[in-house]
Structure 1
Amino acid sequence: MPPLVPAISPRLRSKLRTLAKTQLKAVQRTYDTLLSLEGYSALSAAARKDIFSSIAFSADLWFQCLLDGTQPTSEVMDQTAAFARRRVHQNVPLRSLLRAFRLGARELWRTCTELAEADPALAHELLFDVSPYLLDYFDAMAEHIAEAYLDEQHQQARWRGSLLQQLYDLVFHAPDDTARFRETVEALGLDATLPRIALAVDLDLRDHAPSVREDALDRFALSAARHFEVKPDALVRVWHRERLVFWLPCVRGDSMTRNDQRAAEHAAALVRAEPRVRSIGIGLMNEGARGWAASVEESLKAVDFAPRGSRADDDENDNEHGDESGNEFGNFVRVHRFSSIAIEESVRSSANVLRYLVSLAEQLATEADLLATLAAWFASGQRRRQTAETLGVHPNTLDYRLERIETLLGAKLDDAQWIARLDIALKLRSATQSSERDGKKKEKKGRLGVKKAKRAAH
């Protein structure tokens, strides 16, 4: 509660009563200064009106308490707390709110010192009686406001967590309930019609105990929001299939291609800044509950079927070597776009087409060096001289191998359709081999775990 009110002389009381009726100037000065603070400058017209009213209310209350010699009632304190609770939902930071109170106290004191300049006989009373009260009063009110603000923030976090869980259930288990999806998204303060892109982030959280993992995810989400240049609340997140999934808002009106490229560029910056990120998969732009779910599946496939960068595993005597080529985002490929494997994925959905393309690669695998030759030829942009140098063979040897590929498959390597077919066939084979390596690694880890358990038992 605010401190006890000091007794003031009739002369000062008369002056303060007049001042209380004309203190709009101090209120306006405080309001104008607040608009430059973080969280206040972007407020809507209605919110700004609420801010001005709360400043005037606080100033009137201080004068009323001082003139009446009474402390604020419980109803007034509840009203003051309500101002603080509204600031939470207006996205005004607590530090800005407390700074606003300090500014208000300063402006009221400046107004009071003007009385002393006009009537020096009041200076002693203002300095030694009114000044300490003003400081103690606003300190107590700031503490009351901070408690209300933090309590509302805690309640909002619990409420938001409940809404996010509801959103998760709708997207992955009831995507056709469009009405509830829209209601839930809008309750989170988001635009349900805005397209989004899903990002699946593979994070290394092995040294985080389950009890502190949520805090680690919160910190990472803040970092991600900075890199994607969006407000933290606009970056919706869930933990799904052992990965952290973000739904990133797209730029309305931009093409799918541009939004895809922008997401990849920002993801690359996040990878460089956050060493805990093993890889990030990026889905395609989509909207609605079913669209959000589809983008998540695409982002997961982008990670699961992408070429692996060359780096040592942490497991003892177990190194994984894959495609060592980098991309435009870094030395090793750690940002994977579904758009890069969209054609292969459409092929996977047709069993007959998939079998046909796999058979092309299998046919080449019957003769040594043909698959490696074709892969090198694609990697060099179908330039024969560069391919021969990469393989370390004579150009005539390369010509023979390419002719042999054409003969075995009945293909034409100057035909765009054959080039597309063989390129996809090689990518499908590479993805299959990568999955097989992962399966063998898991099997090996399982055997090592069993051996360690047996040794420990003995």
Structure 2
Amino acid sequence: MTRDNTPLCIGGSRVDARLRARVPALTRRVVDRLRAELPVYAALPPEEVAGDIADIVQRSLRLFADVLQRRGPARDEELVRQRESAAQRAEEGVPLDAILSAYQIGTAMGWEEISAGARPTDLADVQEVLTHLFVLQRQLVSAVSAAYLEARQLLDVQEHAPRHALLAALLAGEPLEQIARRTGLRPAPRYVALTLHVAPHPDEHSPGSRARIAARRKIRRLQTALNGFAGEPALTALDAAGGTALLPVPEEPAWAALCGLIGRTERAVGAAVTAAAASAAPDGLPAAVAQTADIVELVRRTDRPPGLYRLADVLLDYQLSRPSEALAGLAGLLQPLDGRPELLHTLETYLARDLDRRGAAAALHVHPNTVDYRIRRIARLTGLTPTIPADARRLSAALVARRTLRA
């Protein structure tokens, strides 16, 4: 009621009474429009649309009429059925945006029904009705979203727990039959083991909550990109810096396909990705994951560019990084250069550019003659000449051994 106890009226009729009288017919029109405009509702069973969906539409329209009659917001207990329906839609996999769109369509059609025939003299009542409409819409969106997300979170926990258990069992090397009994899931015939390192997104350097939001968004996008490769969820243990993923595959995929996956992943997360991959049957996964983790660490330690790597790409470095009596001897070849960081840096740059003195000079921002001078000093101190291919190979191996020992 308004302040003088007269009802809210538009076009000469009480808005609450007019809306209540039109609820049955309006409900049918709203439901028809939902099925016409929102494909997810068209795909629901007809009896569900005619039952639960129509019931929620009708309840929400009657609630709107109650709000207009008493000129006050909806009470918490009046939103119980909307919450229950949102949770049910979450279990069915109906997207939240479709549910909120449905409420918006119903609200708009209710407003069209009661505002038809409005006259200039109705301005005050029209404004008040709109105020109540906006408050109710905010309450509905808040209640429905909270119930949906709570239900979705519980479902995610239930769905992810067996997959996390399967991942842990595979990495521990448990027998396949034991894994199936304990997790209720049967391992795929083959997996691509991935170890990933993801650089920070620029937004992760922002102050406050923005950095945390950016990190969570990056993890979600990373998970989505990995899930899309095999057409089913990957087994993952991920954080904002990367982690481990097992991609179920029927057979070993082409290397180009895996490289394409990493490229798409980089674009999705908006940050550089360094990864290593190896394909293995379930019983070979512990060794495969250990190997890919070593490869990623080695790639990052040797300042290689981001991208996807396999053992063949780092054979020499990988072999030299294994413990052996020769490792210390190789590293010792560079001992004369201790305390001369400019010579070590020049050697690394010169070898990385395939003995190209001009390319090395450009990378070091020095004159080519300076590179020549430093190379001669390296040769005098170590007894190995970087310009000679055989000596260059020994020096390259010595650098790898030195980095390995110092790491």
Coarse TM-score class (shorter-chain normalised): 0.5 to 0.7
Residues 305-454 of structure 1 aligned to structure 2 (within 5 Å): 305-306=298-299, 308=301, 333-335=305-307, 337-341=309-313, 343=315, 380=354, 429-438=398-407
Which amino acid in 2 is paired with 1:107?
A: M
Q: Distance in 2 between matches of 1:291 and 1:175?
A: 11
Residues 86-125 of structure 1 aligned to structure 2 (within 5 Å): 86-89=88-91, 94-111=96-113
How far apart are 1:269 and its partner, in Å?
5.2
Q: Measured at CA, do residues 305 and 128 of structure 1 come closer, stay the same or move farther in structure 2, by a change above 3 Å?
A: closer
Match of 1:29 in 2: 33
Match of 2:255 in 1: 257
* Runs of at least 5 residues in structure 1 that lack an aligned partner in the other structure: 1-5, 310-322, 324-331, 395-400, 409-421, 439-458
How far apart are 1:296 and its partner, in Å?
2.7
Q: Is the 8 A contact 2:20 2:62 kept in 1?
A: no
Match of 2:381 in 1: none
Q: Distance in 1 between matches of 2:165 and 2:49?
A: 33
How far apart are 1:104 and its partner, in Å?
1.6
1:200 equivalenced with 2:196 (yes/no): yes
Which amino acid in 2 is paired with 1:436?
A: L
Q: Is the 8 A contact 2:198 2:274 kept in 1?
A: yes
Q: Distance in 2 between matches of 1:294 and 1:105?
A: 58
Q: Distance in 2 between matches of 1:264 and 1:55?
A: 42
Q: Distance in 2 between matches of 1:305 and 1:30?
A: 56
Match of 1:82 in 2: 84
Which of residues 217, 220, 228 is equivalent to 2:218? 220
Determine helix, strand or coil for the equivalent of 1:255.
coil
Q: Distance in 2 between matches of 1:47 and 1:258?
A: 43
Q: Distance in 2 between matches of 1:111 and 1:350?
A: 77
Determine helix, strand or coil for the equivalent of 1:100.
helix
Q: Is the 8 A contact 1:268 1:335 kept in 2?
A: no
Q: Is the 8 A contact 2:190 2:250 kept in 1?
A: yes
1:150 equivalenced with 2:149 (yes/no): yes
1:59 equivalenced with 2:50 (yes/no): no
Q: Distance in 1 between matches of 2:233 and 2:49?
A: 24
Q: Distance in 2 between matches of 1:109 and 1:360?
A: 84
Which amino acid in 2 is paired with 1:238?
A: A
Q: Distance in 1 between matches of 2:154 and 2:168?
A: 21
| Count of residues paired in the alignment | 358
> How many percent of aligned residue pairs carry the same amino acid?
13
Determine helix, strand or coil for the equivalent of 1:305.
helix
Q: Is the 8 A contact 1:30 1:107 kept in 2?
A: no
How far apart are 1:224 and its partner, in Å?
3.4
Determine helix, strand or coil for the equivalent of 2:196.
strand
Q: Is the 8 A contact 2:64 2:136 kept in 1?
A: no
How far apart are 1:340 and its partner, in Å?
3.7
Determine helix, strand or coil for the equivalent of 1:152.
helix
Match of 2:277 in 1: 283
Using the size of structure 2 for normalisation, the TM-score is 0.56
How far apart are 1:148 and its partner, in Å?
1.5
Q: Distance in 2 between matches of 1:269 and 1:65?
A: 46
Which amino acid in 1 is paired with 2:218?
A: F
